[in-house]
């Protein structure tokens, strides 16, 4: 790592491409002056935008490419057309080559995942990657993983998720020992999947110094913020995430219908506009933008495709923090610890690291 944190950007990703990526990077640089940028994409589009932000331009380099992964490309299509030459591939590859410390893309999630898996190695002791989301709660935020990188999980993978998610939480929340819960359908005796129960036993026995395992949590604990890190298998995690997003949209729709229904309601809503603003801010997805791929030997951030520059800057800053505070080292340490535990051989062979 050089003095500055070097961020590789897929300038063509997302719904708006460079028109959001460049101003987003400018914002991130203002807040984190010790950053520098590698933009991958169409120089003709990037250069004029970059010229508007001289401070950013001074710490940036453009690598021209015309190949773009489309938002609706299937992962296999993306790999066929975009491997080697696309802005997304090149941003990920910059991390692999050591030219950048982290990569950020607002492009197609499936394609980004597929490319990251091919371009980067797994961390020693981790078998499969995960996607971690930042989940707004009534207490603040939690980290929830896996939200869809890997379908199906045995007990060992669930333990790995706990280790990786808590390493991210230590940095993101700046705490020593984040609380961790395993998502389950209840705390009753006969309930739950076998692998979830086995993972729970392992986590309890391992008694890791880097995380505070609290047992099972249920779906409604996500919004409550009962624990800092919620661990679940990728199928269920993805459905929980999209269900929550869908419910938030549904209620927003009910609100629009209700408050637009009469003149008096509209006047009341206008008077309470400050409250509406506060509410909107609370459920603003830009506050929690940025999914993190975990388990790979490199830091790759997925920004939502529809984000504006504020949201994209937030995704860059997550990458920055993870680099500055040594996410990969933190994961490696705990994997080694957990595999050394005599009672709890929770991960694969970590001695090769």
DSSP 207-229: --TT-EEEEEE-HHHHHHT-SSE
For helices 18-31 and 309-324, give the axis angle rounded to 10 degrees.
Answer: 50
Cross-strand bridge partners of residue 64 = 41
Q: Find out whether 130 and 293 touch, Cβ atoms under 8 Å.
A: yes
Distance linking the first and last C-alpha atoms of the chain: 19
What are φ and ψ of residue 137, in 5° steps?
-135, 170
DSSP 45-89: HHHHHHHT-HHHHHTEEEEE------TT--HHHHHHHHTTTSHHH
Among 90, 167, 183, 199, binds a copy of itself (CB under 8 A): 183
Among 1, 118, 175, 267, binds a copy of itself (CB under 8 A): 267
Q: How many residues bind a copy of itself (CB under 8 A)?
A: 68
Stretch that binds a copy of itself, among 1-9, 33-41, 186-194, 301-309 (CB under 8 A): 186-194
Among 112, 203, 222, 327, binds a copy of itself (CB under 8 A): 222
269 forms part of the interface with a copy of itself (CB under 8 A): yes
124 or 295: whose CB is closer to a copy of itself? 295
Q: Find out whether 72 and 47 touch, Cβ atoms under 8 Å.
A: no
| Nearby residues of 197 by Cβ (< 8 Å), 6 or more positions away | none
74 forms part of the interface with a copy of itself (CB under 8 A): yes
342 forms part of the interface with a copy of itself (CB under 8 A): no
191 forms part of the interface with a copy of itself (CB under 8 A): yes
Among 283, 329, 340, 351, binds a copy of itself (CB under 8 A): 283
285 forms part of the interface with a copy of itself (CB under 8 A): no
Please give the Cα distance from 77 to 138 (Å, whole number): 40
Please give the Cα distance from 322 to 9 (Å, whole number): 16
204 forms part of the interface with a copy of itself (CB under 8 A): no
Looking at residues 110 to 149 of the shown chain, list those that interact with a copy of itself (rule: CB under 8 A): 110, 136-138, 148
Q: Least distance to a copy of itself from the beta carbon of 196, Å?
A: 8
Please give the Cα distance from 266 to 282 (Å, whole number): 21
Q: Least distance to a copy of itself from the beta carbon of 200, Å?
A: 14
Q: Least distance to a copy of itself from the beta carbon of 108, Å?
A: 10
80 forms part of the interface with a copy of itself (CB under 8 A): no
Could you list the residues that contact a copy of itself (CB under 8 A)? Answer: 74-76, 110, 136-138, 148, 151-152, 183, 185-186, 188-193, 218-224, 232, 234-236, 238-251, 253-255, 257-259, 261-262, 264-265, 267-276, 278-279, 282-283
């Amino acid at each position: 790592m050089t003095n500055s944190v070097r961020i590789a950007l897929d300038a063509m990703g997302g719904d708006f491409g460079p028109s959001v990526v460049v101003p987003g990077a400018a914002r991130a640089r203002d807040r984190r002056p010790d950053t520098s940028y590698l933009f991958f994409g169409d120089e003709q589009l990037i250069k004029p935008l970059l010229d508007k932000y001289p401070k950013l331009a001074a710490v940036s380099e453009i690598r021209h490419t015309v190949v773009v992964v489309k938002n609706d490309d299937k992962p296999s299509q993306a790999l066929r057309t975009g491997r080697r030459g696309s802005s997304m591939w090149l941003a990920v590859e910059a991390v692999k080559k050591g030219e950048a410390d982290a990569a950020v893309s607002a492009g197609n999630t499936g394609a980004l995942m597929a490319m990251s898996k091919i371009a980067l190695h797994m961390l020693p002791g981790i078998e499969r990657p995960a996607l971690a989301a930042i989940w707004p709660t009534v207490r603040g935020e939690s980290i929830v993983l896996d939200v869809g990188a890997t379908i199906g999980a045995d007990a060992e993978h669930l333990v790995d998720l706990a280790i990786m998610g808590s390493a991210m939480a230590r940095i993101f929340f700046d705490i020593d020992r984040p609380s961790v819960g395993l998502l389950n359908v209840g705390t009753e005796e006969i309930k739950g999947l076998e692998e979830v129960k086995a993972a729970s036993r392992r986590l309890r026995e391992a008694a890791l110094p880097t995380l505070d395992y609290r047992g099972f949590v249920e779906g409604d604990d996500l919004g409550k913020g009962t624990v800092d890190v919620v661990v679940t298998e990728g199928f269920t995690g993805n459905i929980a995430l999209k269900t929550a997003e869908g419910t938030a949209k549904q209620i927003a729709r009910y609100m629009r219908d209700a408050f637009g229904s009469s003149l008096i309601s509209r006047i009341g809503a206008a008077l309470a506009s400050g409250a509406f603003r506060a509410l909107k801010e609370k459920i603003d997805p830009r506050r929690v933008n940025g999914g993190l791929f975990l388990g790979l030997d490199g830091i790759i951030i997925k920004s939502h495709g529809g984000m504006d520059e504020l949201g994209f800057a937030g995704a860059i800053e997550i990458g920055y923090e993870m680099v500055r505070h040594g996410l990969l080292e933190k994961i490696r340490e705990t994997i080694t610890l957990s595999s050394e535990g005599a009672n709890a051989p929770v991960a694969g062979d970590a001695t090769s690291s």
